[in-house]
Amino acid sequence: MLNSNELTGASETHLTAVDGHKLHPDAAQAYLAMQKAAATNGIELAIASGFRSLDRQLSIWNRKWRGKLPLLSKQGEPLDVSTLTDTEKMHAILHWSALPGSSRHHWGSDFDIYDPSPFQSNELKLRLVPAEYTDAEGPCHTLWQWLTQHAHESGFFFPYARYQGGVAQEPWHLSYRPVAKECHQQLNLELLAETINSLAIEGKQIILKNLEQIKKQYVDTITEDDGWTNIWCGY
């Protein structure tokens, strides 16, 4: 069980280093086992992003709010921040980026995964968009197909396998269920409110006013299928 600082990304005491990133020790062990299993099938996999701290998530949020980072529509088209209400801006950010303190990347159980082999020449840049995984010609398609069949064998699942009205579809995002399930249950509304109140975060008042809805729509709404089917990632 994580303490409140670990749960909200304010501390890294629950993490261990693996492949240049930080994960919860149990998730790290499961990742290495999955990596070994993939290699026996000629599949290479690596972590694109593991643990993300509260400070880093806060920086992403504030820069998007201020228009210093691109803010996109649900269709991936650039939005003009100056034309949006605070409520519209908040939901536009939440579609693509977690509210600081609520990110599954804080827990060390979740990470973004990719096939590094197509990117070794530096001619191709990883963008972490669905087409890289779900399109037959995508550079990570073979990896993604393997993961949809085998990731569950190491205890992983895709929390954003399908768009369900909250976070965008993320076929690259894996979650280690034994750790993530416990963390998700621990993360309550009171802790989120306390965390947001403690931060120098843009849009604080509108966030706090809508925090219950935010938690329900963007934190609690995930793909939790216990079984494993070939429609897991949005087909």
Q: Reduce the DSSP state of residue 125 to 3 states and report it.
A: coil
Alpha-carbon span 90 to 81, nearest angstrom:
11
Report CA 174 to chain centroid distance, whole Å: 8
Alpha-carbon span 122 to 120, nearest angstrom:
5
pLDDT confidence of residue 225: 65
Q: What is the pLDDT along the chain (235 residues), one digit of tens a residue?
A: 999 999 999 999 999 999 999 999 999 999 999 999 999 999 999 999 999 999 999 999 999 999 999 999 998 899 999 999 999 999 999 999 999 999 999 999 999 999 999 999 888 999 999 999 999 999 999 999 999 999 999 999 999 998 899 999 999 999 999 999 999 999 999 999 999 999 999 999 999 999 999 999 999 999 976 444 444 444 3
Cα dist from 64 to 82, 85, 98, whole Å: 12, 14, 12
Topology of domain 4-219 in CATH is Muramoyl-pentapeptide Carboxypeptidase; domain 2 (3.30.1380)
Q: How close are the terminal C-alpha atoms of the chain, in Å? A: 35
pLDDT confidence of residue 165: 94
Half-sphere exposure of 180 (CA within 13 A, CB side): 28
Comparing CA positions, the residue from 103, 122, 117, 130 lying closest to residue 49 is 103
